[in-house]
Amino acid sequence: MVNGTQVDPFSEHGELKVAFNWDDVRVFLKVAELGSVRAAASETGLSINAIRRRIEHLEHEIQAILLVRGPSGVELTEEGERVYAVGVDMYRQATLLRRFPGARSIAPSGTVRIGITEGLGSFWMAPRLPEFRKRHSGIQIDLRCEMRLQDISRLEVDFAVQLDPPQDPNLMVARLGYLHIGLFASRGYVEHFGKPAAFEELSKFQFVEIAAEQIKAAALKEKVRSDPSFGFVAVKTNSSAAHAMAIVQGGGIGALPTYGTQLSSELVRIMPEFSLKRDIWLVYASDIVRIARVKAAMDWTKKIFDPIKYPWFRETPPPAQDTESDSSLTRTSDLLPARI
């Protein structure tokens, strides 16, 4: 509504009916994303007045109020929500256009941004990156290891490897494989404290816990019904690297992917009958695969999670002793040394 008159800036097909300045839209997207004019000014380097002028200019061109003050900052109006959706799509298409020149080259080149959980990124993908670089020397990999789900719709990353499926129905999803979680401890810890023979005994041992997005800690707690408070936790962290290192260094028993024995010769499986299964998803926008370097990185990602070559990612993994004794499965050196 402008000057008391209700105006619909959209056509019947949902398209904006007016021309506008892309810089105004870009600033509007940032304010909407952060929910604050002041925060947007700080991030963009523009003054607060400049931010407000751009928003006012966009509202004038579209003939609609896009933002209103709310109790916790600025909020989108109904028209603002619609403009935001169109703006996000414009942003994605503009980003693809900026990348287009590199896609025309004979050999794929440029940067590919991959979002991946910290553990899979640090301990599985990163050690295999030199193999990718040998084949694609012109491609730089920007590996973003975070437990937070990346915003693929906004092209925060080109594609992601994650444990939770995306909420956006417009994104493409493919299952790479399955992640099986088991209980592990260091050889030194077992020699000193022994190991539990049953779940009822687990609460008598020190436990190293990870608490982060995409981690289902409650599933293990459900197994250990003898201690609902989970009071035997000795170390709790939000970092997969710190979690794994604490276990290797003898901090206690902890849940790790079943390929853990490939990370360190110091790790041993505890209570192999315990196993949790998670899906590993490859998530991407449909149009991103048209970029040669991104497709090359995605194809390589599928290969390093190939369940035929790497049995840990099968739906039903082989017994732990089979993979530990299989000489064809090369250990990824000792990424986690027993002593530092």
**Torsion (CA) 185, 336, 257, 260 in degrees, nearest 10:** -70
Question: Distance between CA 238 and CA 291 in Å, rounded?
Answer: 34
H runs (alpha helix) in 35-123: 37-44, 48-62, 78-103, 118-120
Q: What is the pLDDT of residue 328?
A: 39
Reduced to 3 states, what is the DSSP secondary structure of residue 20?
coil
263 burial level (CB within 10 Å; 0-12, 13-18, 19+): buried
Query: pLDDT in tens for each of the 340 residues of the chain?
Result: 444 444 454 445 445 455 567 788 888 988 988 888 988 888 778 888 889 999 998 888 888 888 888 777 888 888 888 888 888 887 777 766 656 554 455 677 788 999 999 999 999 999 999 999 999 999 999 999 988 888 887 778 899 999 988 888 888 999 999 999 889 999 999 999 998 888 778 878 888 888 766 666 665 666 555 444 445 677 788 888 888 899 999 999 988 998 888 888 899 999 888 888 899 999 998 888 888 899 999 999 999 999 989 999 999 876 665 445 444 344 444 555 555 4
Cβ pair 323, 257 in contact under 8 A: no
Reduced to 3 states, what is the DSSP secondary structure of residue 163?
coil
For the entire predicted model, the pTM comes to 0.65
Question: Distance between CA 135 and CA 306 in Å, rounded?
Answer: 18
Instruction: Fold for 22-102, please state it.
Output: Arc Repressor Mutant, subunit A (1.10.10)
Looking at domain 106-176+279-313+320-325, its CATH superfamily turns out to be: Periplasmic binding protein-like II (3.40.190.10)
Q: What is the pLDDT of residue 133?
A: 93
Q: What is the pLDDT of residue 282?
A: 95
Reduced to 3 states, what is the DSSP secondary structure of residue 228?
coil
Cβ pair 258, 123 in contact under 8 A: no
- CATH number for the domain whose boundaries are 178-277: 3.40.190.10
Question: Distance between CA 171 and CA 156 in Å, rounded?
Answer: 13
Q: What is the pLDDT of residue 326?
A: 44
Reduced to 3 states, what is the DSSP secondary structure of residue 8?
coil
Question: Distance between CA 217 and CA 250 in Å, rounded?
Answer: 20
**What is the maximal distance between C-alpha atoms in the chain?**
79
* Annotated domain spans of the chain: 22-102, 106-176+279-313+320-325, 178-277
Q: Do the domains 106-176+279-313+320-325 and 22-102 match in fold?
A: no
Reduced to 3 states, what is the DSSP secondary structure of residue 254?
strand
Q: What is the pLDDT of residue 40?
A: 87
